[in-house]
Chains A and B, each alone.
Chain A
């Protein structure tokens, strides 16, 4: 059965739809000229060769839409992430990918008509542009996607740099990017001394607010102003200026609780290796396709799975841990791991029209072959007061197989959590844990970790 993708309605050039789980793109007749130019000019070929755009094949499929021109079957993505789940460098690389594409496109007489961060996905370890219908014929006019680019990329990057790396999650409240007037107000005044930020954020924001309130006679003046031309040098200058401004933004070297977690964990070297070995052994038995690692920190244990599974989705609450993992994925050209920022006690909901344009985190991960929940149970049940049984229910809703580590109260990490609060968790014991979890799972294997009091479990949903 065919169904249109709920986020694919804004652009009249075409739309996404799926048939039995496979995604296709319909190119409408009104976009025929642009699509043919993209394909015949050599632009598409260059972008595919440089791994900058998702490739596709044209397929024959009748009666999809009365105005259909072509039906494309793009290379399928394994997992979708959203900009509000990315770490600093993920967003920065996505921004530079978008600008590189625009620069190349201009060389072929084309230009991006959208610069939405949602048009970038991480595929085989790299950012890739997924909206094949975003190209238009280059005109001697201002770049139509300039505002969107600044709101989706430059602004949020600056907030992460100048305020806090965790702030990116607020961008989920602004589906078309954070308004520049808000970014301009949030940034420290010192940013006005940086030419790139002054131009593309502060003055840009002022121009937006100035002209947004125009009325009456002003409108004619605005019409005259907006009909002026911009020559190729000016357009190239704008893109080069954005590339240089984005390249200059770097994250301050800050340490967090999690970024250095493994320097302070409670395992001996042997215990740490043993835990990796247990996970590998479980995974060899399970032979999973997709594995979700919840609270996976910098990906140490995801790496133990990456050669066995076809995709490991590594998530962590700390954007700096995700940042470290992303740098590792990039450096080691790891194609089978995706990393994203996620707080499992408050995962991103569905957003946009009818809450259906962007899927909730839960909807995207539901049905993975295995959930790994290593050294996270004490954060869920003690730091967040979630009853053990509720955590079991949550994991059972995500997957049929669970690899979980129980961290007892005698472990240094749990003792630390209980140092400053009353212990209201009498059921938080090995027996209490097993009792709660066996309401939803059967325990297939139970393996104590060497030189620690922690226990690893392999469980199957009832």
Chain B
């Protein structure tokens, strides 16, 4: 899957591009490009959002531990 996307992107980068003033709406190229890009940016988004979630949970846990410690110190 990743290899497919990478091959397509490399092919696009080195491919010969004709003039932009062609007949079809260039929006078509934008749609197809997004589908290609989707797996890259979607993957990054998935990983970063999970990482952020983990980080937040870890902070929360750490915060609770600290509170507990403070509480026991007070006692």
Interface residue ranges, A against B (CB under 8 Å): 142-144, 146-147, 150, 179-182, 199, 202-214, 222, 225-226, 228, 230-231, 233-238, 240-241
Contacts and interface: CB of A to CB of B under 8 A. Distances in A.
Given A203-B33, A233-B46, A211 B17 contact: no
A206 B38 contact: no
Contacts of A240: 41, 44-45, 48
Nearest to B34: A142
A213 B37 CA distance: 21
B33 A238 contact: no
B34 A237 contact: no
Interface string B23-59: 1111111111111111111111110110000000000
A230 B35 CA distance: 7
20 contacts: A143-B34, A150-B30, A179-B20, A181-B20, A199-B37, A203-B33, A206-B12, A207-B32, A208-B26, A209-B18, A209-B29, A212-B24, A212-B25, A222-B28, A230-B38, A233-B42, A235-B42, A236-B45, A237-B45, A238-B42
> 9 closest A-B pairs (Cβ-Cβ)?
A237-B45, A234-B42, A237-B41, A208-B29, A234-B38, A207-B33, A147-B30, A181-B20, A142-B34
Determine chain B's interface SS by DSSP, over half rule: helix
Contacts of A230: 34-35, 38, 42
Determine chain A's interface SS by DSSP, over half rule: helix
Contacts of B39: 234
Contact of A226 (B12, B28, B45): B28
Contacts of B45: 233-234, 236-237, 240-241
Contacts of A208: 20, 26-30, 33
B35 A142 contact: yes
A394 B1 CA distance: 64
Interface of B: 9, 12-13, 15, 17-20, 22-46, 48-49
A202 B9 CA distance: 11
B46 A213 contact: no
Contacts of B37: 199, 203, 238
A206 B26 contact: no
A254 to B, nearest CB: 31
B66 to A, nearest CB: 31
A77 B72 CA distance: 60
Given A209-B22, A212-B20, A241 B29 contact: no
Given A146-B31, A208-B20, A236-B45, 18 more contacts: A142-B38, A144-B31, A150-B30, A180-B20, A181-B19, A207-B36, A208-B28, A209-B22, A211-B28, A211-B32, A213-B22, A214-B24, A222-B32, A231-B38, A234-B38, A237-B41, A238-B38, A240-B44
Nearest to A141: B31
B67 to A, nearest CB: 31
A213 B23 contact: yes
Contacts of A231: 38, 42
B34 A238 contact: yes
Most buried by A among B18, B32, B44, B48: B32
Given A142-B31, A142-B38, A228-B35, A147 B12 contact: no
Contacts of B25: 212
Most buried by A among B12, B25, B27: B27
Nearest to A218: B24
Nearest to B45: A237
B22 A225 contact: no
Nearest to B30: A147
Nearest to B37: A199
B38 A210 contact: no
A225 B31 CA distance: 9
Nearest to A219: B24
A226 B31 contact: yes
A147 B24 contact: no
A236 B30 CA distance: 17
Contacts of A182: 20
Nearest to B27: A147
A237 B20 contact: no
B14 to A, nearest CB: 9
Most buried by B among A144, A180, A181, A213: A213
Contacts of A143: 34
B20 A203 contact: no
B41 A225 contact: no
Contacts of A212: 18, 20, 22-26, 28-29
A235 B38 CA distance: 7
Contacts of A222: 24, 28, 32
Nearest to A225: B32
Most buried by B among A210, A225, A230: A210
